[in-house]
Each structure stands twice: as C-alpha cells, then as structure tokens.
Structure 1
C-alpha cells in the first residue's frame, strides 16, 4: 500500500503539498459515508475533507483512544480496511512511529491521516494495547 502513494503522488512520502488547501475545507460531504469502528462503537459518518481520522471519530463520538495528537504515542493507530486511496499519504511522523511493514499492511495513525477525497472508506481502531 505504501507503494500506492509513491505512484499516486509521484514523489516521496511525507511531503503533503495539498494540506493547506485541505485545511480550508471543513464541511461534511453528506452523500458519502466513512465507516469508523472504535473499541465498542461503530458509526457510519459523513467525511470531512481535510479532517484527520481521529478528529472525525471524536466529532462523531466514536470511542477512539488518543493522547498526544502529534504522531508519537500511537494510541490512535488504526487499520484502513478499505479506501486507503482516499486518505493522505503517510507523513514523516507516521514513518517514524510505524514500521514499514505496518504501513504496507494498511496501518495508519488516526491523528496524522487526513481525508483527502471522497469514496468508500472503512477504518478500524487498532492500538497496540
């Protein structure tokens, strides 16, 4: 999956040039759905372009554990089951915290992964502990 972003963006991971534009868009896209599965709560929610997976989960009261929101504690670690192409590419914080094999398997940090496009997405909270 990591190879997907290199092919998609045509460059190295960790360079997210679309972030400033994405920050401006904070309205939900009601005709599309993202499925978020926390420890006990599962919800289908409207995506918000530019928002992190963690912020989207918190906004919709999905029980997503978090602590630092900086990409260091990995309590927000999650598995992208479907729709990884609709998320931002792994950034430097994720590359430092997650093993390359984890990224390849579809694991991301919810505090770092942003919704960049609309499409069917399923994400499951998958912390280490």
Structure 2
C-alpha cells in the first residue's frame, strides 16, 4: 500500500512539474509582452514607465536586486510542488532534502532591459 502511494506521488509529481514548467514559460512570455508594450507606449513619461515596471515585478513576487541606467535585475525564489512530490516519492525523507535544497538555492534572476523591453535569465 505504501509503495502504491509513493508511485502515485511520483506520477503526480511528474505531471505537476511539467505543468509548472509550462506555466513559468507562459508567465515569462506575459511579462515580456506587457513590458514591451509599456516601453513603447509614447503617452507615459520615463518616470511613470519605471514606476509601472517596479510595480509589475513587485506584484509578481520579485525583489529588485540591482537597478542601473536602463537595466534592472530582479529575482524570485520559486517553490516547486512537482519537485517536492518527486522527492517525497523517494521515501518521504526526500521531501526534507528538497526543503533544505529550496532554502539553500539561489533565487531565479532575470535581467530586464528597460529600453527595449527584453527579459532574460542570468
């Protein structure tokens, strides 16, 4: 019975992990589209554009790590339920390993070009 439960957890972990990857890509695409539209909006001042960009990333859970003339580096630590389920399927102890990994890993960082609206991973 325990083996069946762990196999179900592993299968669910794979499905959720694939969904999380697709969702992350879709959200990044939405951020890029919004930022590109915002950068090319001629009705807003540069200060208003910068304020909206900062609000966009703050509302989506990103922390602003660095901001230079025309560039911004933002980061966010993401918890993966799919990876946690897969590690749990290793025998329960794996979940503890994943939690330790989550707290020790570096946040995902994005490089944002405020002039062109491009977003890329660092």
TM-score w.r.t. the length of structure 1 is 0.22
More helix as a share of residues = 2
| Structure exhibiting the larger radius of gyration computed from Cα positions | 2
TM-score w.r.t. the length of structure 2 is 0.23
